[in-house]
Structure 1
C-alpha cells in the first residue's frame, strides 16, 4: 500500500475507532468533560448525540478507558435488544452469577443485588450504551425502570446513552417524557471546523509515524473539510483515498487533484464537481484498490 511510500508505520485513516489516535478536538474534549462531570454527580441519564461519523464511539471508548477505579462499567455496543435481552446483557457485563432456569423477575433481583453490592463497596455502576437510537421502545422503558433502583441517598445505576440525532427525536415523544426528565446532562457533537480538520489530519499522520513536510497543505485540508462537512469519518475516507491517488502517481504529497478525485469517488462527499472531469482519477482509484486487495489477500 502507500505506507512505505510515505514512511508510515501504520494506517493513519482507519475507520476503526482507535483511542490511540484520539485528538483533543474541542467538541470531543467538551463531550468528555460533560460526561465526566455528570458521572461525578451520580444522578440519572446522560446523553451524547451526533451525526453518523462524528466520533461518538471513539468518545465512548475513551470514556470507558479513563473511568476512575471506583467505577464499574457495563458496556452494551449494540442495544437492538428486547427488554429480556437487555437484562441478560447487563447481567453478563456486571458479572452477575445466575442459572439457566432464572426468570426475568429473578434476573432483575440479581442485578439489583449486584448494584447494591457494588454500592456497599464504594463503587459506582455505569451502564454505557452505544447506538442507543436502536433501542426498541419497550427496552427504553426497561432502561428507565433500571434507574429506579436506588438507596435513600444515591442512584444505584447511571446510564450513558450515545446515539444519532434520531434518539433525540424519539425521546421528544410524549410517551418518553418520564425518561426525558431523567436526562440530567446532554451534549450534541458538532462537525469540525476547517482548522480543526487540518489539525486532525496532521495529528493522525504524526501518530502513524509520518515525519517531514505536510502531506496535505492548507488548501487540500480545506477541500476535505468542506466536502466532508466536517465529519471525521468522511475526513478519514477522503484523506485515505487522496493518499492512494498520490501514491498511484508516484507523488510525494497530496495535491488538489488527488483530493478532488477522492471526493468524486465518495458518495457522501461533494464539492459539486462534474464527474466527467474526474473520471480518470476514479478509474485510477479503482485500479489501486484492486492492487491493494491483491497485495493483502494474495487473491
Structure 2
C-alpha cells in the first residue's frame, strides 16, 4: 500500500469507524454536545439522525468509548428484533441472569427489578441503538413501554437512537405520536461544507502520521463536490486518489487523482458542467488575446 510512500503510520481514510480519527467539526461536535446534554439531564429518548455515511456510527462509538464510570451502557448494533428479543438483548447487555423458559411478562418484571437495583447504586442505564430505522413497529412500541420504568426522581432507562432519516418519516405517523413526544432531544447531521472537508482531510492525514501531506486546493474542491460533503464518500475518494498518486510516484494529491477516483466510485456527484464550460471559455479568451496581440499565428 502507500503508507511508506507518503510517510504515514496508518491508513488515514479507512471505512471502519475509528474513534482515533474522530474530527470535531461543527456537525459532529454539535451532535455530541446534544448527546452529552440530554444524557446529563436524564431524558428518556434522544435521537441522532442523518443520511447514510454522515458519521452516525462513529459518533455512537465515541459515545461508548467516552462513557463516564457511572453510566451502564447497553449497545444494540442490530435492532431488527421482536419485542421479546429486544428485552432478551437488553437483559444480556446488562448482565442479567434469567431462565430461557420465562415468558415476556416475567422478563419485563426481572428487568424492572434489575434497573431499580442499578439506580439504587447510582448507575445511569443507557440503551444505545445503532441503525434504529430497522426497528420493527411493534419493537418501537415495546421500547416506549420500557422507558415508562421510572422512580419519582428519574427514568430507569434512557434510550439513544442513531438512525437514518427513514425513522423520522415513520415517527411522523399518527400511531407513533406517543413515542414522538418522548423524544426530548434530537439532532440531524448535515453534510460537511468545502472548508470542513478540507479540515477533515488535513486532520486525518495528521493523525495518520504526516501533517505535511497535502491535497491540492482543486483536489479538495472536487473531493467536496463529488462526495457532497458525506464523510464516508470523502474517505472512499481520498483513499482512491492517494492510491492513484502512489501509482504515479507523486507526492501531492491533485485534482486529476480525485477526478479519476470519482469516475470509479458509485454514488458520487458528477462533475458540474460549468467547470468544463469555464475552461473552454478561458481557452477562447486566451487565443483571442493572442490573436489581438500578435495577429494570425
Q: Provide the rounded CA distance (Å) in 2 between the counterparts of 1:270 and 1:122.
A: 50
Secondary structure of the residue aligned to 2:126 is: strand
> Hey, what's the Cα distance between the residues in 1 that align with 2:218 and 2:271?
17
CA distance in 1, matches of 2:161, 2:251: 43
d(CA) in 2 for partners of 1:96, 1:3 = 46
Distance in 1, Cα, partners of 2:188 & 2:272: 31
Q: Which runs of 5+ in 1 are unaligned?
A: 275-299
- Structure 1 segments (4+ residues) deviating >2 Å: 270-274
Match of 2:190 in 1: 190
Contact 2:202 2:211 (C-alpha < 8 Å) held by counterparts: no
CA RMSD of aligned residues (A): 1.3
Residue 239 of structure 2: aligned partner:
240
- Give the conservation status (yes or no) of the 8 Å contact 1:264–1:273: no
> Could you list the per-position Cα deviations for residues 139-172 of structure 1 after superposition, in whole angstroms to 9, with x for gaps in the alignment?
0000000001011221100100000000100000
TM-score of the superposed pair, with normalisation by structure 1: 0.89
For residues 212-223 of structure 1, the aligned pairs below 5 Å read: 212=212, 214-223=213-222
Report the secondary structure of 1:170's partner residue.
helix
Q: In structure 2, the residue corresponding to 1:153 is in which secondary structure?
A: coil
Structure of greater Rg: 2
The equivalent of 1:278 in structure 2 is: none
Q: How many equivalent pairs are there?
A: 274
- The alpha carbon displacement at 1:220 in A equals 0.8
Q: Is residue 2:150 matched to residue 1:157?
A: no
Q: Deviation at 1:270?
A: 2.4
Query: In the TM superposition, what whole-angstrom CA distance separates every residue of 1:7-57 from its partner, at most 9, and x where no partner exists?
Result: 111111000000000111111110011010001111221000000000001
Give 1:273 shift.
Answer: 7.2
C-alpha deviation, 1:211, in angstroms = 4.1
Deviation digits for residues 240-288 of structure 1, max 9, x if unmatched?
A: 00001111111111111111000101111123479xxxxxxxxxxxxxx
Residue equivalent to 1:57: 57
Return 5+ residue gaps in structure 2 as ranges: 274-297
| 1:254 lines up with 2:253 in the alignment | yes
Kept after mapping to 1: 8 A contact 2:226/2:271:
no
